[in-house]
Amino acid sequence: MKKLVGEKLVFDWKIVLLTIVSTLLLMIEYYHYPVVPWNKIIPLWDRTGISMKVLDGTLLYFIVPMLIILMIFRQKPGEFGFGVGDWKAGLVITLAGIVIIAPVLYLFGRGDPAIQSYYKPLASGLPWNTFLDLFGWEFLFRGWLLFGYARKFGPDAIWLQAIPFALAHLGKPELETLSTIFGGFAFGWVAWRTKSFIYPFLIHWFVASFIIVLAAGYLG
């Protein structure tokens, strides 16, 4: 076993920045709501149906990482999965994922009172709230972190990004939260296979919207 005591520690500054910034962004959203007083900035706020939470998420999880990619890393957004990637495989995987997931969601979404009580109030603002919320969310995990870590850790980045993704679900229904380490891996694999965060975003958008529709009783 290699002796580690006394060795000089050398860190990859991009990995350090990715880890610190992503962790702080999640904490900032948790402790400071709203991060920006959007209702004062947007005069027609009440008519948009969009919550301040999803605008916070767009700022923190999409705009901030994108600015770091462009201005600090000096890299192209496509290197972090921002693009269509392998769109043929992406569309096939997305459609297949929706077909497979839909009946599972229907079973558990209708049968778990915790899921129904948590998601029913979110029915207002569909589908744009879930779109904006998950666009930034997916870019953070399946774009920024996945492809940022992949440069150093290769395929292990799929599991690495799934850990903060799962922990970020604490406070949500238990059944959902317990599944997210596996769901996070699956979404990460889709992004890795297609070289784009777009396709896990589309699947996740369907999942969230469908669960809310079920919880609200729109499907009977």
**Tens digits of residue pLDDT in 87-130:** 999 999 999 999 999 999 998 777 778 888 898 888 877 888 89
Residues 6+ apart with CB under 8 A from 11: none
**pLDDT value for 47:** 55
How far apart are the C-alpha atoms of 116 and 36, rounded to whole Å? 29
Number of domains in the chain: 1
**pLDDT value for 25:** 97
Residue 161 lies in a domain: yes
Contact 203, 98 (CB under 8 A): yes
Residue 2 lies in a domain: no
Residue 180: closest CA among 167, 193, 190: 167
Residue 107 lies in a domain: yes
Give the DSSP H/E element, type plus range, for residue 102: helix 87-111
Contact 188, 142 (CB under 8 A): yes
Residue 207 lies in a domain: yes
Residue 101 lies in a domain: yes
With the C-alpha atoms ordered 54, 72, 24, 192, is the resulting torsion angle positive or negative?
positive
**pLDDT value for 195:** 98
**pLDDT value for 40:** 74
**pLDDT value for 1:** 45
Residue 220 lies in a domain: no
Q: How crowded is residue 136: how many other Cβ atoms within 10 Å of its Cβ?
A: 27
For residue 38, what are the domain limits? Answer: 13-215
Residue 1 lies in a domain: no
Low-confidence ranges of the chain (pLDDT < 50): 1
**pLDDT value for 37:** 82
Residue 190 lies in a domain: yes
